[in-house]
Structure 1
Amino acid sequence: MSPKALRLSAALYWATTAALAALPVVIALPLWLSGPRALATALPGLAVPASLPAPLLAAGIAAGLLPALAVAYVLWQMRGLFDFYRRGASLGHGAARQIRRIGAGLLATAALALAARTLQALALTAANPPGERILAFHIASSDVGFLLSGGLMLVIGAVMADAARIAEDNAGFV
């Protein structure tokens, strides 16, 4: 690998490390500062009651955190990939495995985002009177982006695994 690629990989390794450390704060701080109304603001169109029972509020918050778990997984796998790259191990089975894991994490992020919005709508409107409860399901453009990016990473990971296998075979002939 070129020295420039090694330096960039090292910088991205530390950037993903910082992102992993910041993720809990970035998620928790708005909820802490804004309280339950932050959920109502984040989910326009839902008639969230002003006095939501604590278990339903907790369920709404927990559902909203589901995609963040997948994002943390993706960041962790990216950190591992950049670690391979910064050590110059760009064409190996380890890097290919990390790329496939990133792809799977992106697919999981899209699926969990879909599920989270549905679960949040159920939890946050469950205390409403009949006729005002909502079961919502919608696909956002970001979900499509995560699905396509995840699929792309899975394909790139498979191609990289093939390339690593071919490189090992060729090394055996020398």
Structure 2
Amino acid sequence: MSFKEQQEKAKDSTEAYWLEQSELVSWSKAPETILSTNENGWTDWYADGELNSSYLALDYHVEQGRGEQTALIYDSPVSGSKQKFTFLELTELVAKFAEVLQKQQVVKGDRVLIYMPMIPQAVIAMLACARIGAVHSVVFGGFAAKELAIRIDDAEPKVIVSA
């Protein structure tokens, strides 16, 4: 089906189209409601569905036999450092860091502030938060103390991850 045909189908029967699309996703809990309007008048998509973005980004690919394929490439123009991580390697690193967060009593719904440069460990921290249901807030690693303090006060994180 062409893009134009997909677009027309989505326009003509919105809920049926998006129900069909939802069946392509590996949900933790498949949604029963595709489209609804909340008490504030906002449209909610798949409001009762649940998924884990860390699982979908990593474990799913390992399960599909792509564990040895490259999942992340780090190429620093500053240091010249280059690294590649397979789905399997990244899954293991994320699981280990998720365990570190859990040992710090981080649970689903807690906030974790990530104050790091753009390095693989920042991605690992983000995916580890998603794995355990914590909310991560990434703060630009170049902020000075005053700007960082404002963001910490605003986010009220349980844990701060820094390099």
Same fold (TM over 0.5): no
Structure having greater relative contact order (Cα 8 Å, sep ≥ 6): 1
TM-score, structure 2 as length reference: 0.30
Which of the pair is proportionally richer in strand? 2
Larger Rg, first or second structure (1 or 2):
1
TM-score, structure 1 as length reference: 0.28
